[in-house]
Every structure is written in C-alpha cells, then in structure tokens.
Amino acid sequence: MSTDDTRDAIMVATYEALCEEGYSDLTAQSIADRTDRSKSALFYHYDSREALVADFIEYLIEGFDARVERTREQPPLERLAAFVDWFLADPDDDELAFHTAFLELRAQAPYNDVYREKLRESDDILRTVVEDILRDGIDAGVFRAHDPESVSALLLASFDGARIRQFTLGRDEYLETVRAETVDRVLADVLAADVEFPDEASFEFPRDDRLVDDDGTTDTADSDGTTNAADDDETTDAESDTENTASNAEGDPTE
C-alpha cells in the first residue's frame, strides 16, 4: 500500500473515530482499531496525536479546495446560493456527530498553537472562497460594489454562529432564521438592483467523497480516495454531485 493510501486510511479512520467518540475521547488506539494497522504503526507516520489531528485538518482543507474547484465554472450567484445551502443545511445524525467533535477540537485551539495555525489556514481558505464569489459577482454585475472581505467575514461569522447555536442547543430555527434574515438584510444590500437571491441553489455544493459515500453514509471500504459520486445528472454534468442526500457530513469542512 502506498503512502497516500496509508494516509487516506488513517484520515478516514480519524473521521470515523471523531464521529463515533468525539474529540475528547479520541485516542491513537481508537483510530488504529479502524485500520488494519497497529497503534505503533500509526506513530511511525505521526509523532503524536496532535500531529495526526493537525494533518486531519490539513486533509479536510485539501478536500475542501478540490470541492471548491469543481464549482468554479458555475455563475457567482449560484455558487453563493450553493455555499449558503451547504453551510446552513439541517445536519443529519452523522453530520451532527462530526460538527460536535469538530467544535470540541476548535475549543482546544486557544490552548494549542498547532491546531490554531491549521484552523487559521482553514479560515483563510473559507474566507477566500466567499470573497472570490463576491468579487466574481461584482465583475459579472450581479452584485453591487462592496468590500468582499468584510461581507465575507460577516457571512462566515453569522453562519458559523447559527450552526453552533443550532446544534449545541438543538434549535433548528437558527439555521432558517439566519438564512432568511441574511438574505433579506445583508444580501439584499449586496445584490444588484434587479437580482434576486435564489430560493434554492441550482446545484449542490460537492461533498467530500473521500469521507462520505453517495448515500451520505461513511464506509471505509470505499473511501480509497477515488471519486464515487454519481455524475449522471444532466443538469450538473461532472461539475458537482446531485444526490439529495445530505452532502456535508464532513461538516465544518475546513473548520
């Protein structure tokens, strides 16, 4: 098995262990148990649990980059709508498990410089994605002139706060209300005069195929790094997944 395959196997096992056990209870043993490797083999690849978790965040970032790449040819307004839908989708049980574990991990960042550095990298990428969409929309004339950096920061803070309040409190209305108010009060301000924000995006923000199967479930046997998404839907071609099943089981993609 190649080094890439080994990393994939460890990363998928880490994802599963996080979903099933949370971050606090995550051990090298629980990760090793989900691979055909021993705990000591794990430490051949990673010096510490911290190094492994940091590489896991890096792995999510790489996956997120690849997923964003698949949406680049779509029009900016549709990309923004797909991003909003993806971020504020009501999580299923698997997604909730990962959101929860990832929030535990994020809560360690103030104590942990390695995590903090990786999460900053992830924040940079997430902000850049939204900024690029906003900038492309200004160029295309669908958005008015505005400061994409500031609006991107506001959108991410609102969506992140809504999602954290939703799943820690079990209050779905945060997702719906914040989406509606953001469209009415923030995006209405940003959209050009004759442009309306779509009620529903025309495509689904791609899932991380390395971690989640077509049916939204996790399955290590298939998670070998290859893409197994069905690309047979005419409206989206090879650009994106089209299944109606939950797509963001990886949750906070890069954070």
The footprint of a second copy (CB under 8 A) covers 22, 24, 96, 99-100, 103-104, 106-111, 116, 119-120, 123, 149-151, 153-154, 156-162, 164-165, 167-171, 173-174, 177-178, 180-182, 185-186, 189
Please state the separation of Cα 240 from the chain's center in Å: 15
User: Scanning the structure block, which residue is given the tokens 């190649």?
Assistant: 2
Least separation in angstroms between residue 79's CB and a second copy is 21
Residue 149 vs 239, nearer CB to a second copy: 149
Q: Evaluate the CA torsion angle 239, 205, 70, 8 in order and state its sign.
A: negative
Least separation in angstroms between residue 153's CB and a second copy is 4
What number of residues does the chain have? Answer: 255
Least separation in angstroms between residue 181's CB and a second copy is 4
Compute the C-alpha angle 65/233/218, nearest 5°.
55
Residue 28 vs 229, nearer CB to a second copy: 28
Q: How many CA atoms lie within 13 A of 105 on its CB side?
A: 30
Residue 181 vs 224, nearer CB to a second copy: 181
Residue 9 vs 18, nearer CB to a second copy: 18
SS3 content of the chain, % helix, strand, coil (to 5): 60, 0, 40
Residue 170 vs 232, nearer CB to a second copy: 170
For residue 72, what are its two tokens? 């680049």
Least separation in angstroms between residue 6's CB and a second copy is 30
Cβ neighbours of residue 30 under 8 Å, at least 6 residues apart?
A: 17, 21
Least separation in angstroms between residue 204's CB and a second copy is 23
For residue 61, what are its two tokens? 């970032």
